[in-house]
Amino acid sequence: MDPELGSNIVELGMATGATVSPDGFVTIGIKLTIGGCPLRSQIKKDVETRIASHPGVREVVVDWGEMTSEERSEVMLKARWNARQQAPDTAVPATTRVVAIASGKGGVGKSSVTVNLAAAIADLGYTVGILDADIWGFSVPRMMGVSGRLAGGKSAEGKGHIVPHEKAVGRGIVKVVSTGLLVEDEGTALMWRGLMLTKAVEQFLRDVAWGDLDYLLIDMPPGTGDVQMGLARMLPRTDLVIITTPAQAAQKVAIRAADMARRSFLRVAGVIENMSWFECDHGERYELFGAGGGRALAEEIGVELLGQVPLEPALAAGGDSGEPVSLQGTGPAAEALRAIAQRIVTETVPPVAMAGCSARLLESVEAILGPKPASPALAPASPEPEPEPEPVVPQV
Ligand SMILES: Nc1ncnc2c1ncn2[C@@H]1O[C@H](COP(=O)(O)OP(=O)(O)OP(=O)(O)O)[C@@H](O)[C@H]1O
Ligand SMILES: [Mg+2]
């Protein structure tokens, strides 16, 4: 997926070819919209991780090219077209980076990490949505300190939608949607079957008026399965961050989550190790759950270890009181979480900056094409009949 255009690079015509040698060396040709595209390294990493996951591949080399201005306008037309086609499926803006926090097994700290990262990223000045995809084990509302039933509203076209709860957090905003905000009280059990869980997540993606959103963090339910598959179908541009504990046994289970991601073509963006150690008042570290699981997992699936979060009572207390420790906390867990948030926005999953290459071009094309058609039925059946755009001159 082109990280900015949200469409797949083969369909966009950016992938020019692939050669595979009998001894497992693969060369992939990719033409960038602009040679110096700042997302080049991310595209490279995505292509390499996906191709390398196929059995028998020993090395992946990307052979770069640059598009002519004609090719570039054609790509932008297709990207715009795809964006329009996909629009009815989700209400998540095309410019939102989507990060799902997943794990192989339960209780490793997915929800704690999700709310703490959301708070820390918001504090950097971003608008961050949290989708609590743990439909019946929801814990985001309490951890984030939001309560009260979600309200409904109507769009300008008269379509009903759910309005997320909004909370000012540091220098930014956090928006929250959870089934915990739909039931009468926290104690209400939701005994739903797999299919209904997937439907609920689909509805949260399709019918929530998210509005402006730089990031959408998705707190996944424990384990792998229906919800992840549904997510892959609805939002194939989702990046997955896998949480694990330091125990080697936990790592084995976490690999299954990574495998599942690969099979549904989601990108694994990194690993976070949680509950890494406990540091006592004298500064001594106790590795209560063993050591090395996070790094071993990251190496095994070929991604970065984004950070290690120690065990700290303040983190659990912050979850209970609805004040994420990453916001004001001074301890090592708060610092680790803030450092991970920083790394996510600068390196691992940077925001779609409108000053970037493709996104900026996309804006120009959008201006030329005019407003989006009111209904997909009015739109032509293929990208070709779109009006001829002026050649778009890159400004970067
Ligand atoms: N680093 C930490 N230090 C102290 N307590 C922690 C830490 N991480 C998580 N916890 C606590 O461990 C418990 C489980 O964490 P959490 O609910 O975030 O896990 P989860 O993976 O979302 O669980 P589930 O699979 O049930 O959704 C919570 O009580 C939380 O406060
Ligand atoms: Mg949870």
Tens digits of residue pLDDT in 86-141: 544 678 888 899 999 999 888 999 999 999 999 999 999 999 999 999 888 899 99
Ligand 1 centre distance from Cα of residue 361 (Å): 43
Confidence of residue 200 (pLDDT cuts 50, 70, 90): confident
Residues 129, 31 share a domain: no
Q: How far apart are CA 304 and CA 10, in angstroms?
A: 26
Return the residue whose CA atom lies nearest to atom 23 of ligand 1.
Answer: 107
User: Average pLDDT of the chain?
Assistant: 83
Q: Is the pLDDT of residue 259 over 60?
A: yes
Let me know whether 204 and 122 are in one domain: yes
The predicted pLDDT at position 87 comes to 45
Residue 105 lies in a domain: yes
Based on the domain organization, do 62 and 107 belong to the same domain?
A: no
182 alpha carbon to ligand 1 midpoint, in Å? Answer: 23
Question: What percent of the chain is predicted at pLDDT more than 90?
Answer: 43
Between 264 and 373, residue with greater pLDDT: 264
Binning pLDDT at 50, 70 and 90, where does residue 393 land?
very low
Same domain, 114 and 201: yes
For residues 119 and 53, membership in a common domain is answered with: no
Ligand 1 interacting residues, C-beta cut-off 6 A: 103, 106-112, 134, 137, 139, 222, 274-275, 309, 311-312, 315-316, 319, 333
Number of domains in the chain: 2
Q: Global pTM?
A: 0.74
Q: How confident is the model at residue 36 (pLDDT cuts 50, 70, 90)?
A: confident
Domain of residue 142, residue span? 97-348
pLDDT in tens, 129-138: 999 998 888 9
230 and 323 both lie in a single domain: yes
CATH number at residue 102: 3.40.50.300
Together in a domain, 102 and 242: yes
CA of 179 to the centre of ligand 2 (A): 13
Q: Looking at the structure, do residues 147 and 47 belong to the same domain, yes or no?
A: no
